[in-house]
Structure 1
Amino acid sequence: MSPRIRGLRTFRAWLQSRPQAGDALLALGLLLVGLPQMYLEDLPRGEDFEQFQTPDLVNGLLVVVVTMALTFRQRYPISVLMFIVAGELAMASQTYPPSVPDVVAFLIAIYSVAAHRGLAHSALGGLVGFVYFLVSLVVMMPVDISPVVLITDAALVVGVWVLGRNLRLRRAYFAELEDRAARLERARGTDARAARIEERSRIARELHDVVAHHVSVMTVQAGAARRIIDRDADSAREAMSTIEEVGRTALSEMRRIVGVLRTDRDAEQAGRELAPQPGLGDLGELLDHVRETGLSVQLWIEGEARTPSPGVDVAAFRLIQEALTNTLKHAGSQARAWVRLYYTDRDLTVEIEDDGRGTATIMADNGDNPGHGLVGMYERVALYGGELRIGPRVGGGFGVRARFPLEA
């Protein structure tokens, strides 16, 4: 960017932050253009124009005072208009001829009243200005005015007022749009946060069920070890090893609960009874239910199946469940779906794809204003240090791909 353009932008920003200074510069510009014209140009010759007084120092001072009143036109538009009308009357009473600065200042004052005040005040100011214009032109002007000139000048005054009023309405319209956009943005952020909080609470409750199961196993094993420790030390040591392994898993899941519960617990669910949580072992039953709805679903399992941690087991199942639910809602009646599980030594990759037509619908429902479904997917995968990719697939349809580490 050139220094000249940068300087112009800086000056423009300075004027926008100081509107009163900008109006003062406007008034000075009018004076620089109009004052020399007052004294250097002769009045038109004719019998009517002989009644005008030749501009003198008093006339120049009155023009300067009237024009410089525009400095306060945005802050006190009605007062400025009244002041300019009073100055115009004072010059007309002394039969000074009209000049460019005071005439333009009068029109700008009418515009300012319409542009910076409400309908009642702007209508009052416009009426005062229009009445003064007619009185000064028809009654006080020592020159005969033709009807064409009168109509043209009256239309100019009315047009300036209408322009100011339209610009005010336009500014109000854009301000309302900006305010509405800001409110929608805040509401969207609030909805997304509420969805995340609710989903985290639900995930935490499911992890709580997993931990409760492991603690129950530890309790049973500890009781068995206590009863047989004197007569069967080997079995007791085996029970202790089981307790140690299950305890480590429970501690790992407890840490995840502490990590996910960053908000207050849901009081309505505080007394909810514990229930077994589904896992990948229940995937066949889930796919059967989906097929009963008419959606064709195929399952592939690649690699040597390994037992993931209980939390990953629940998270992978819920991910598949949510993805297939979205397919049922958005993909269409003729769509097909595929579920793939890839096992490696270190991680589990889950892919759910369909060939339906619901890509745009899913992105509109979830991308711009995320609902509980996608929020739950992201929260679950992130909780276990995994990676998630969601989006349209090549050739049409929609795809979800998640990678879960098998080791915590």
Structure 2
Amino acid sequence: MTPAPRPGRTLARMTGILTARPVPARSKAFDLLLAGSLCMVFGLLSIAQAGFEGILGFGMLVPLIWRRTHPALVFFGVSAVASVQWLFGAQLMPANVGLLVALYTISVYGEVRYSRIALGIGGLGVLMATSRYWTNSDWRQQVTMMVALGALVFGVWAFGERRRTRGLYVAQLEERADQLERDRDREAKLAVSNERTRIAREIHDVVAHGLSIMIVQADGGLYAADKSPEQAKKALATIGDTGRASLTEMRKMLGLLKQDEQPGLDPNQPRPQPGVSSLPELIDNVRDAGLTVDYEVTGEPRDLEALLGLTAYRIVQEGLTNTLKHAGPGARTSVLLDFGHEMLTVVVTDDGRGAGVAPSADPGHGLVGMRQRASISGGTVSAGPKAGGGYEVIAKLPYHLPTGGDQ
């Protein structure tokens, strides 16, 4: 099991997403305009107020051009210039506003750890400024200035942190929306793939069953052509009817492949599929092909879900198809539907040669297809030769999917 991410790691990851975004050109242009305006106003005022020392003011304003691309470097650089100002005893000047801009920037765009360090440096700067520039004031004025400067520094930093939190929230919402969109697209593709696989299985069952009947009828008609023309005509008629019915059903299946591409069609519209009620017609068609089939229903019949009914129908159809292919001439087949208390049992047996159903490497064919269909409904299929000859297919299909366990 993958451990849940800790809140600190989540915050760091989301901060990385926020800071890793490329800076738009208009934001860079704004920073250039901001730094230029501050230099023109506060830089020139600093020179007018402090003379030559006012040049230090430009060292606190010019770096603001890169405040978004390198917030930590800009803040520490501006702080270094302010430290030089303090060491040489230069007076406070209007250009010191660059410190507040840099502090705000690192609290918004910088890493969390650097933002905390910047707040500590800002608090240290308040103490240094108070000790340097208000030494001749009484203690009340010193405390007042210390509190005022501290409130200003903390207020600027807190406002930046609020902007950061809002940015992280928006970034998290965008990431979640992107993830939901990716999940939706993946589920849509998976649904389309599953639908196409189901349709391919249906086409195989329809074509295989129809062709098996047509082959048997064609062989019988060829054999009876000289001795019994009426039997040959009947076989040809059965071939034609079976071919047309199979072609019609196959066209319906192929039409489903194009349904998603046709506007105005509801993809959730129910699609009629054969069920256990269609088995008598299926068995009559097989009987017309010359195969002797006994059909029996035991237990109390009930209405089945569409998927379960279709599964039972296709298993019987596949069993009869393979009997036509492998059981040989004169084989007798029986189909049993047993409506038990908890499950439907489908049994298809024959007394032919017992060649059975060879498992196929392609999903959806032969015995593999039977087991795959049954597993979707939570059931099982067993197949194999019978003692004394013949072949037997037994499918156990629960009326409801089992709950619990790994599905």
Normalised TM-score (structure 1): 0.52
How many angstroms apart in 1 are the aligned matches of 2:127 and 2:99?
13
Contact 2:32 2:65 in 1 (8 A): yes
- Of 208, 213, 233, which aligns to 1:212? 208
Contact 2:66 2:74 in 1 (8 A): yes
What SS does the aligned partner of 1:98 have?
coil
Give the match for residue 50 of structure 2: 55
Give the match for residue 125 of structure 1: 118
Give the match for residue 88 of structure 1: 82
CA drift of 1:244 comes to 3.8
How many angstroms apart in 1 are the aligned matches of 2:135 and 2:257?
86
Residue 31 of structure 1 pairs with residue 25 of structure 2? no
Give the match for residue 243 of structure 1: 239
Contact 2:108 2:163 in 1 (8 A): yes
Residue 21 of structure 1 pairs with residue 29 of structure 2? yes
What SS does the aligned partner of 1:55 have?
helix
Give the match for residue 128 of structure 2: 135
CA drift of 1:259 comes to 7.9
How many angstroms apart in 1 are the aligned matches of 2:55 and 2:205?
89
Aligned pairs for 1:1-400 within 5 A: 16-17=24-25, 19-38=27-46, 54-56=49-51, 58-93=52-87, 95-100=89-94, 102-141=95-134, 144=137, 145-233=141-229, 235-251=231-247, 253=249, 277-278=274-275, 289=302
Percent same amino acid among aligned pairs? 30
What SS does the aligned partner of 1:112 have?
helix
CA drift of 1:256 comes to 6.6
Unmatched tracts of structure 2, length 5 or more: 1-21, 259-272, 280-300, 306-312, 315-407
What does the per-residue CA deviation read over 1:284-330, in whole Å, with 9 as the maximum and x for residues that have no partner? xxxx95699xxxxxxxxxxxxxxxxx99xxxxxxxxxxxxxxxxxxx
CA drift of 1:38 comes to 4.5
How many angstroms apart in 1 are the aligned matches of 2:124 and 2:170?
33
| Pairs aligned (count) | 251
Instruction: Go from structure 1 to structure 2 and tell me whether the alpha carbon gap of 1:91 and 1:142 turns closer, same or farther (over 3 Å shift).
Output: farther
Unmatched tracts of structure 1, length 5 or more: 1-13, 41-53, 263-275, 283-287, 293-309, 312-408
Contact 1:70 1:80 in 2 (8 A): yes
Structure 2 counterpart of 1:87, one-letter code = V
What SS does the aligned partner of 2:69 have?
coil
Instruction: Go from structure 1 to structure 2 and tell me whether the alpha carbon gap of 1:137 and 1:21 turns closer, same or farther (over 3 Å shift).
Output: farther
Q: CA RMSD in A?
A: 3.9
With a CA cutoff of 8 Å and minimum separation of 6, indicate the structure with the bigger relative contact order. 1
How many angstroms apart in 1 are the aligned matches of 2:235 and 2:136?
118
Instruction: Go from structure 1 to structure 2 and tell me whether the alpha carbon gap of 1:117 and 1:15 turns closer, same or farther (over 3 Å shift).
Output: closer
How many angstroms apart in 2 are the aligned matches of 1:255 and 1:204?
12
CA drift of 1:141 comes to 4.9
Structure 1 counterpart of 2:59, one-letter code = V
